[in-house]
Amino acid sequence: MAPTTKTVLPAASSARPLAVAWHVRSASVPCHTHPLLADMDDQLLALRSWTSNPGPKFPLSLAHVRALLCVLDELLRLPLAQAALSRAAGTADSDGLLDGFLVLADAFGTFLAALVSLRQHAAELRAAVRRRDGTKLASAARAQRQAGRELEQLAAAVAREAAKCARPAVATATAGGGMGGGAHAEAEVARAFAEAVKDTAAAAAAVFLEVGAVADAAAALASPASSSPKKSRLPPLSRSKQRTVGDGEARREGAALEKLQELEQCVRERESESESESESEKVFRSLVQTRVSLLNIHTPTF
C-alpha cells in the first residue's frame, strides 16, 4: 500500500497547477478546447443540419446564420486570435477570407434588393390576375420569372466564389492541425473562419434558391401557356363548356393567388415586420462588420 500511496500523492499535488495552467490557456488561446470554438462548432453543425434538410419552409435559416456570425464576432475579440490573424496578414489564406466575406456581403446586398423587387412584382402580378388583364399579367409574370432566375444565378455564384476564397485557409488549417503551440492556434482560427465562410455561403445559396423557386412557380401558375391577350379565332363554346372553362380558370387563378401569397410570406420570413431591421439586413450588417474587423486586424493603426 505504501508505494501506491506515494505514487498517488505527487500526482494529486500536481493536478491543481495543471488545471490552472489549462484554464489560463483556454481563456486566451483559440485551441480545440476553447469554449468559443466549441460553440462555433455547435453553430456550424446546426447550420449544416438545416442546409442539408431545409424542408418546405425554413424561417429560422437566417437566424442560424446570424447566430454563427455572432460567435465569430466574439472569436475576433480574443487577443491571441487577433495575433494569429495579424501574423497571417498578406498571405493567401487571409486575403481569401477577406474576399470571402466580401463575396457574402455583396450577395446579401443583392438579395435585399431582390426582395424589394419581388415584393413589387408579386403585387403587380396579383392585381393582374384579379383583373384578368392578359397584357399586364404576361409582363408582370415575365419580370418575376427573371427575378427568380437571377436569384438562382446568385445562389450558384455565392457558393462557388465563397468556396474558392476559403480554400487557402482550409489548406492552412489542415497543414497546421498536427502542430503545436502558435501553429496549432493559427490553424484553428483559419479553420473556424474558413468553415464559417463556406457554410454561410451554402445556407445563403439555399435561401436564394428557395425564394427564386417560389417566385418562378407563382409566375408559371399565373401565366400558363394557354393565356394570351389576343382574341381567340375558335368557334364559340357551348354554355356547358363555357362553364367548365370558367371553373377551370377560377381554379387556376385561385392556385396562382395562393402561390403568390406563399411568395409574399416567403419574402416576409426573410424580413421582420415587428422590428426596424429585417433578418436579411442583420446578416448583411454582420458580414460587413466581420470584414471590417478583419481589415482592422490586418492593418493595425499605431
What are the residue ranges spanned by the domains of the chain? 32-48+58-226+251-296
What is the structure's pLDDT at 286? 94
Q: How far apart are CA 79 and CA 27, in angstroms?
A: 10
What is the structure's pLDDT at 297? 87
Contacts of 155 (CB under 8 A, 6+ apart): 204, 205, 206, 208, 209, 212
Average confidence score pLDDT of the chain = 74
Task: For residue 103, give the C-alpha cell.
Answer: 463575396
Q: pLDDT (tens digit, 9 = 90+) per residue, 224-275?
A: 544 444 443 434 444 544 444 455 566 767 777 777 777 777 777 666 544 5
Q: How confident is the model at residue 276 (pLDDT cuts 50, 70, 90)?
A: low
- In the predicted model, is pLDDT for residue 12 greater than 50? no
How is 40-97 classified by DSSP, letter by letter? HHHHHHHHHHHHH---S--TTHHHHHHHHHHHHHHHHT-HHHHHHHHHTTTSHHHHHH
What is the structure's pLDDT at 252? 66
What is the structure's pLDDT at 60? 55
Pick the range with the lowest mean pLDDT from 60-69, 160-169, 190-199, 203-212: 60-69
| CA nearest to 208, candidates 47, 45, 51, 44 | 51
- In the predicted model, is pLDDT for residue 27 greater than 70? no
Q: How far apart are CA 184 and CA 165, in angstroms?
A: 21
- In the predicted model, is pLDDT for residue 23 greater than 50? no
| CA nearest to 285, candidates 135, 56, 66 | 66
- In the predicted model, is pLDDT for residue 183 greater than 70? no
Output 140 or 276, whichever has higher pLDDT: 140
